[in-house]
Amino acid sequence: MIVTHSVDLPTITLPNSALSGVQLVTKEDCKGFTVYEARIPANAVVPLRSPDDTKSFHIYYCISGNGKSTAQDGDRKDVTPDTVVALSCDVTFELTVAAESGMRLFVTYCPAVDVESKSLAVVRHLSELLGTERDIDWGKGNSRRFLIKEDGFPLGLHNTWVYPKTSTRLGYQNHIEGVYYISGQVTYSWEDTSGEWVHADTKTNTENGTNYLMNIHDPHIVKSDEKDCYCICIFDPVLNGKENHTLTEDGFSGYEHSK
């Protein structure tokens, strides 16, 4: 398990050099993807593109702020909190941030290797998922799945709601999972390489969050506080879409390998 708090991280230039922010997951942490949080000022106009020197899928989750994305054909769509923009390496959008305030974007890059080359572009808001087959009650909350296998991306991206005052035993043996908490207070407990159980609490507010990366398939226990918690989840490989948990007191639930 690797834990990072955005409040503790230095501001850097992202692999798309038009963006700056903090890095949450590095190439050394995880071979499949890297994760950043970009902070874009009000009134800015920036390209949403693949990294400068690597062809990658690039995926954006709007945490806060408002703006509009413009596709290469001129199509414009609103980007508001809980909007995902997912693009293949050959697609670039323009993002215009509103004048009222800046924007926080959760940004994921996944190298485009061993994947059939085709242009992909998804712009999807959380409201489009609620009450659909992509809105999965997993027993201790709901998993709202923006990107599943049929969308064509190698990574899954979900908004997960964790109910308050719950404790859940999870262990993804067939996936690498990254979880970035954007609101609420939770404690993660897991067994480190010495065999000792250790703990880490979130540090979330209106400007910062906490990322947990289960980079060695760590079985872990998630305990939530007295309020609802919300996080952005990455699954590598992407889920088929309807996978769910079998929660017990003595085991760690995960998902079958995606086929």
Q: Evaluate if residue 210 carries a pLDDT over 90.
A: yes
For the segment 2-31, the average pLDDT, to the nearest whole number, is 96
Nearest by Cα to 176 from 91, 80, 255: 255
Is pTM beyond 0.75? Reply is: yes
At residue 248, the pLDDT reads 75
Which domains occur in the chain, in start order? 2-236 (2.60.120.10)
Nearest by Cα to 44 from 123, 101, 124: 101
Burial code (b: 16+ CB inside 10 Å, e: under 16) for 101-126 equals eebbbbbbbbbbeebeeeebbbbbbb
Are the C-beta atoms of 100 and 43 separated by less than 8 Å?
no
Query: Dihedral, CA atoms, 220, 226, 232, 234, nearest 10 degrees?
Result: 10
Chain segment 38-71, per-residue pLDDT in tens: 999 999 999 999 999 889 999 999 999 999 999 9
CB atoms within 10 A of CB 2: 18
Nearest by Cα to 223 from 203, 200, 251: 200
Confidence of residue 174 (pLDDT cuts 50, 70, 90): confident
Chain segment 185-201, per-residue pLDDT in tens: 999 999 887 888 999 99
